[in-house]
Structure 1
Amino acid sequence: MHSATALESSPHCRPSPDGRFIVTLRASGIIVRSTETLQVTNAVTLSFGSGSPFASTAASTSSANVPTLLWAPSSTKFLVSTADQLDVFSALRGSEFHAIVRNYSSISGKPSFLQFGARDTEVLIWSASGLKLVVLDVCSSGVVEISSPKFHQATSASRGVSLRPGTGHLALLARSGGKDVVSLHRPADRQVLRSWCPETLDAQGLEWTPDGRWLLLWESAAQGHRLLLYTADGQHFRTITASNLLKGPDADLELGIKTCQMSPNAELCAIGDYSRNVAILHTQSWRAQLRLPHPATIAPKDTLQVWQEQIGAEPLQGRTTHTFVRATQILSPPGSATEHGAPENKFGCSMAAFDSSSTLLATRLDDSPCTLWIWDVVAAELRAVLIFHTTVAFQWHVSSRELLLVTSQDPAHQGVSFVWDPLSNGPTPLVPEVYLPEVRAAGKAQVAWINRESELPVLFVSDTQHYLLLSPSVASDGANPWQQAAVSHDSSEFQYGSPTSNHYAMDDEDEVMDDTFSFRNV
């Protein structure tokens, strides 16, 4: 693999959605670098008091004191928030855009979750009590409050809100008077365009399709298989039930939907439930096109690759090694186990995702979380099974087709990842400690795709101290894409007046800020 120079990192280091930049929040300030040249595109000096959480971002353990770092959808701005202040900066060199919201918790209470809206200046803030969702425009000072969002915790809030691609209409799932309520909000002012009570008892999520033609709403698994389809203006089109998804006379008695995943081209929808099957719907007719059954035993063959991880140790350095052998005999995927070795009572498929070409589907069963299944949905065949020693998660590359990143979820192997594609000789291991100068604490390393469109795919590897970029290629693929990059480690990046920095004395009330407003007496 080709690698770039390791750079200073922190627990708050994020690549932008389009993969062009990486922002790092440190005690000395904020640095934004280009992923192509590794040059600094913006630097911000933070001047807080001694009690600021930014004074000890690496050591802070209090959840109330940990700042939040988020990228805007366009990747031109990013957000930094603390318990009582929210700042939006530009990632671009020469831009002095800086919006401040002071005491923003006074308008929503202590926030439990934040995310950008459809615009770079729009921020969605969920109150920890779940009483309301606040839509805040940091430029116009506009505030819209939407009461009773159904989901407000950080782990679930995103399931209850969806932004329509292209237009930016906001769909929200709320709960009022013991009933589910869906509301559509206009892009400009977020006023209600339409609202209705769907025919659900306990809806668990809603989502716009990638083309914005349909709004999907699915019922709790305890209420059976129910997927409700609405047109873009909120008109009910069809309800898909168990009879459309399952076979057999007792289909209506089975537990319902665990996951609902759309393909990038918006032509297919994968439905996972508590069975070992995944149903594929075609969105032209919204009928079940095929069913993918996960077999209890796997028989390898020429058109079905089965790779098993083998763990060893290097004789000199003592590092754990990860290699893969291709199975030739019939085998059964390993199940899951609790800390005491007893099997966990988990079933069905709650993880599924299409690759960028919408031709491959990766799935993981909850009763076998160490195994990934790769399906060819065009041929309706199982193409590969990847068997690991630990529970894994996965992520397809956003633009490179058929390219999968698999990451171990075991705290003892956190950050250990594998890159796989159908033409490779098994998954390629990536161990962060091989590339990073130090991996000081287990469980802190992370690996993710850089979603920049380039000739070769790029990986982001980081821990709390350093980060670097990797290109999973071999020497014959060409020169190191970063070998000409000159990287500055000089702390003068933060000096006031530097050509690549903007200085903001955030504790100075007399400092003149662009696009600044405060909520002090709400």
Structure 2
Amino acid sequence: MASQAHGVSMTAIAPDGQYVAQVIGSKISTHSATPLDDGSRFIGSITLKEPLASQLKIVRISSRKGSQDSKNQKKTPVCSTAPRRILCAGESQVSIYDLESGTWVADIDNAGGTCVEFGPSESEIVILNAWMTKASIADVDTGRIMVIKSPKACSPQAQGHGYRPRTRQFAILLKPEGTDLLTIHEPNSYEVINKVSLQTVDAQGLKWSPDGRWLAVWDTASNGTRVSIYTADGQFLRTYTGPKDLENVHDLGVRAIEWAPAGKDQKTPYLIVGKNDGTADVVNARTFSCSTVLSHTFQTHSVAPLIWREQSSPSNGEPEYAEASAFDTTPDSSGLPRGVSIIQFSHDGGLLATVDQTRPNIVWIWSFRPSIGLVSALVHNHNVRQVLWHPSREELLVTTTNTTPAIYIWPSGAHPAVATVPVARSDVGKYEVAWVSPSSRDEPSTFWFVASGDAMLGQVTNLGEGGQGTFDIVYSAVR
């Protein structure tokens, strides 16, 4: 995760939340969520070289070595001294800094792009150049660079490439001429395993299932609901086109998709297909038929879920959650793109959080065990920016476009709370959060809250005692 501010300041958080990097001018300050050997959390300061100092656009921190991307795989314990690398990308150069050795370990010239990120390890860098004419995979330890021509341009929310969980085969969408292609490559060597001509009008993105069995590719919304499923080696299985009983209804197509985490049998049970009509299809990942449709409409005849509405406290004026019996169902009239834009499963797949852009201020929370149903709705005064489940607990963090820095937290089975955070106010409400992966279940739930380049590590206490919580500061990384 990275917050960008083009040349002034930006903050990057490691995928597991263990490290934060702050860019201020030509310096990068690094901080650890876990205390170092001397008890401090400040790691050090890095000086950027030209041309990066004046052209920096992207900052990334690598994942922990030995950790697994799949939410259902065993993770190695958190170690504050684990080797990490920081990726810095400008308009024409990518440089890699090693936190363990405290040195710049690689410079890749003529390598700026719209997408620059770590591959399956801290030694591999994926670079999609600004003109989308090629994708380069560079191994900074060996100096080897593999080039894949004509990658397909996809939105940042729907990537056109990805690595298979566990075995790390690389899949990428291509558009060399007028036909969409899918190629799958061997790990390390990137030799082509299979090349598939897709039956799509304009493929929007691809996503591997967490168990690594399936690869889903969805088509442009103008072609209706079309999600094609392929095996891990690129063999076509079938295309999901929506519930059979809705064939005659006007189909507005797919906005986003998300796979459920693998279950105890190590198989992914569901694929969620978020639609532009404000519904989400729950697709059985064995038969790829629709099990049920989630409708983002309050059903008065059904069992009422717990509805929590944000309001100003009568006692101190601070925001809080209060229980409500219903909420306004008037669609948003801002003209923003419609459809289900956020789909997030809890770590074990038992709960699902969604946001429909028809009412972008509401987070809908669904239970998948023992049956599928709506259990709660969080109604906010401003549009929802981010929804993030805890990596091992049923706790949900929410940020909104509220200019007052605040965190909204929903713990399963307890009263949700709103806590204001003592960081710089953002005039546009651009706040970001990231959980810190705990080393044990007994470790307190901590997270980073980032605003205007400042990063605050903390936790919310006084949960269950009312609609307001207290943000306790664990560490402050202020510029």
Whether the TM-score (by the shorter chain) exceeds 0.5 is: yes
SS of the aligned residue for 1:396 comes to strand
Contact 2:17–2:447 under 8 Å retained in 1 = no
What residue number does 2:436 align with?
Answer: 450
What residue number does 2:235 align with?
Answer: 235
What residue number does 1:89 align with?
Answer: 97
Corresponding residue to 1:101 among 107, 115, 126: 107
Would you say 1:356 and 2:347 are equivalent positions? yes
Letter in 1 for 2:246: G
Instruction: Return the alpha-carbon distance in structure 2 between the equivalents of residues 466 and 199 of structure 1.
Output: 46
Query: Structure 1 residues 350, 439: closer, same or farther in 2, change over 3 A?
Result: closer
Shift of 1:298: 4.7
Contact 2:458–2:473 under 8 Å retained in 1 = no
Corresponding residue to 2:379 among 377, 387, 390: 387
Shift of 1:473: 2.6
Instruction: Return the alpha-carbon distance in structure 2 between the equivalents of residues 72 and 227 of structure 1.
Output: 31
What residue number does 1:367 align with?
Answer: 358
Instruction: Return the alpha-carbon distance in structure 1 between the equivalents of residues 336 and 31 of structure 2.
Output: 46
What residue number does 1:428 align with?
Answer: 417
Instruction: Return the alpha-carbon distance in structure 2 between the equivalents of residues 138 and 124 of structure 1.
Output: 11
Shift of 1:271: 1.1
Instruction: Return the alpha-carbon distance in structure 2 between the equivalents of residues 418 and 352 of structure 1.
Output: 17
Letter in 2 for 1:19: G
Mapping for residues 226-305 of structure 1, pairs under 5 Å: 226-242=226-242, 245-251=243-249, 253-265=250-262, 266-296=268-298, 298=300, 304-305=305-306
Contact 1:336–1:368 under 8 Å retained in 2 = yes
Instruction: Return the alpha-carbon distance in structure 1 between the equivalents of residues 58 and 386 of structure 2.
Output: 24
SS of the aligned residue for 1:234 comes to coil
Instruction: Return the alpha-carbon distance in structure 2 between the equivalents of residues 488 and 271 of structure 1.
Output: 39
Shift of 1:180: 0.4
Query: Structure 1 residues 314, 100: closer, same or farther in 2, change over 3 A?
Result: farther
Instruction: Return the alpha-carbon distance in structure 1 between the equivalents of residues 273 and 428 of structure 2.
Output: 35
SS of the aligned residue for 1:203 comes to coil
What residue number does 1:376 align with?
Answer: 367
Instruction: Return the alpha-carbon distance in structure 2 between the equivalents of residues 475 and 150 of structure 1.
Output: 46
Would you say 1:219 and 2:219 are equivalent positions? yes
Equivalent residue pairs, number: 438
Contact 1:19–1:35 under 8 Å retained in 2 = yes
Instruction: Return the alpha-carbon distance in structure 1 between the equivalents of residues 463 and 361 of structure 2.
Output: 31
Instruction: Return the alpha-carbon distance in structure 2 between the equivalents of residues 322 and 481 of structure 1.
Output: 17
Instruction: Return the alpha-carbon distance in structure 2 between the equivalents of residues 209 and 249 of structure 1.
Output: 26
Instruction: Return the alpha-carbon distance in structure 2 between the equivalents of residues 334 and 476 of structure 1.
Output: 30
Shift of 1:102: 4.6
What residue number does 2:122 align with?
Answer: 120
Moved more, 78-87 or 178-187: 78-87
CA deviation vs aligned residue, 1:415-464 (integer Å, no higher than 9, x gap): 43311123222x311323xx23x447654543332234452211212334
Contact 1:130–1:152 under 8 Å retained in 2 = no
Would you say 1:11 and 2:9 are equivalent positions? yes
**C-alpha RMSD over aligned residues:** 3.1
Shift of 1:259: 1.4
Shift of 1:54: 3.2
Moved more, 362-371 or 268-277: 268-277
Corresponding residue to 1:324 among 321, 324, 327: 321
SS of the aligned residue for 1:472 comes to strand
Shift of 1:207: 1.0
Shift of 1:475: 9.9
Larger radius of gyration: 1
Query: Structure 1 residues 98, 53: closer, same or farther in 2, change over 3 A?
Result: closer
Mapping for residues 39-50 of structure 1, pairs under 5 Å: 39-40=40-41, 42-46=43-47, 48=49
SS of the aligned residue for 1:54 comes to helix
Mapping for residues 138-177 of structure 1, pairs under 5 Å: 138-151=140-153, 155=156, 159-177=159-177
Shift of 1:225: 1.7
CA deviation vs aligned residue, 1:37-89 (integer Å, no higher than 9, x gap): 1635743542646xx5637xxxxxxxxx3342101233622212233432212
Would you say 1:468 and 2:456 are equivalent positions? yes
Letter in 1 for 2:192: V
Instruction: Return the alpha-carbon distance in structure 2 between the equivalents of residues 232 and 198 of structure 1.
Output: 15
Instruction: Return the alpha-carbon distance in structure 1 between the equivalents of residues 336 and 102 of structure 2.
Output: 54
Mapping for residues 54-93 of structure 1, pairs under 5 Å: 54=53, 65-74=55-64, 76-92=84-100
CA deviation vs aligned residue, 1:148-188 (integer Å, no higher than 9, x gap): 111166x35x5201111111111001112210000011111
Letter in 1 for 2:23: L
**Structure 2 unpaired stretches of 5+:** 1-7, 66-83, 263-267, 466-470
Letter in 2 for 1:375: W
Percent of counterpart pairs with the same letter? 23
Q: Higher helix proportion, which one?
A: 1
Shift of 1:258: 1.4
Mapping for residues 389-408 of structure 1, pairs under 5 Å: 389-408=381-400
- Higher RCO (C-alpha under 8 Å, 6+ residues apart): 1
TM-score by length of 2: 0.82
Instruction: Return the alpha-carbon distance in structure 2 between the equivalents of residues 424 and 373 of structure 1.
Output: 16
Mapping for residues 201-216 of structure 1, pairs under 5 Å: 201-216=201-216
What residue number does 1:336 align with?
Answer: 332
Instruction: Return the alpha-carbon distance in structure 2 between the equivalents of residues 168 and 18 of structure 1.
Output: 19
SS of the aligned residue for 1:74 comes to coil
Letter in 2 for 1:416: A
Contact 1:126–1:134 under 8 Å retained in 2 = yes
SS of the aligned residue for 2:204 comes to strand
Query: Structure 1 residues 231, 326: closer, same or farther in 2, change over 3 A?
Result: same
Instruction: Return the alpha-carbon distance in structure 2 between the equivalents of residues 401 and 40 of structure 1.
Output: 25
Query: Structure 1 residues 216, 46: closer, same or farther in 2, change over 3 A?
Result: same
